[in-house]
Amino acid sequence: MQMTGGVADTGIDDSTGSLFLVNPDGGPACARLPDGTVAHCTQCDTWQQDCPRGEKCMPWANDGGSSWNATRCSEIVRDPGGVGDPCTAQGSGVGGLDDCELGAMCFHVDPETNEGTCVEMCSGPSQDPICSAGSRCSITGRGVLNLCLSTCNPWLGDCDDGQVCVPNSADFSCVAQVADPVPIGDACRIINECVAGATCIDGSGSEFRSCCSPYCDLADSDPNAPCAAGQVCTAWFDAPHEAPPGFDSLGVCTVQ
């Protein structure tokens, strides 16, 4: 096991059964799971996949939170799953440990079962990422999470069952939808909890700070038709040239 700064203490995480080796300098913990899977302390580059042979660079939440904010090398399990295969995340969906192959990570993870699907990670230089046909690189998690997600049409809601079309840095991608989607007009916290055809927008509704608001089409004869009273159809992209092909008239209902 690689370590930075030596080992000061050990302990068992009751939620996962993991043995943690804690760095004395307060840095990320190294974890060895009961099945022998190891997550090293070493920071790495998910684009370069510069971990030692038999390991892969993975995003994870090094602060125990629910969002990816760092990277680490994790051991590749024996007979790992390929892109599109079902998978299991160890501990949680943001723990950086799963049973997917090099260049893939377990995503769309169910928080109850920790089961998900192996999704392709972006390759190539970060300035010009490479993904398989039908997908586009989505870079989130403070830049450490880079995944090839299926592109979609926010008007049509054309994602697979259990997924929803959400905005990313450049266009729209399919991600896992929460178990009980929030209807249009109700309060929301995150973009993937709204019903298909809507998104979570700050200040978009009545008494709520954020609510699920429908997409609309500025090219329609009545673009405000999907909007609630007091809302108008507002351009999604600041300028038409910023929009992907076919989406230059995309709008969302916002408070006037």
- Report pTM: 0.65
pLDDT at 15: 31
Q: Where are the beta strands (DSSP E) in 95-150?
A: 104-107, 115-120, 135-140, 145-150
pLDDT at 28: 41
pLDDT at 3: 26
For residues 185 and 212, the answer to whether their CB atoms sit within 8 Å is yes
Nearest CA among 53, 48, 45 for reference residue 2 = 53
Q: Which residues contact 137 (CB under 8 A, 6 or more apart)?
A: 122, 129, 130, 131, 146, 147, 148
pLDDT in tens, the chain (256 residues): 222 222 222 222 323 323 333 333 333 444 544 455 544 456 799 999 999 999 999 999 988 888 898 999 999 999 999 999 999 999 999 999 999 999 999 998 888 899 999 999 999 888 889 999 888 888 877 788 999 988 899 998 888 888 889 887 678 888 888 878 999 999 988 888 899 999 988 864 445 568 899 999 999 999 999 999 889 999 999 887 788 888 999 999 998 7
pLDDT at 150: 87
pLDDT at 178: 80
Paired strand residues for 57: 73
**CB count, 10 Å around CB of 9?**
10
> Measuring CA to CA, how many Å separate 246 from each of 143, 167, 187, 254?
27, 15, 30, 21
**CB count, 10 Å around CB of 234?**
19
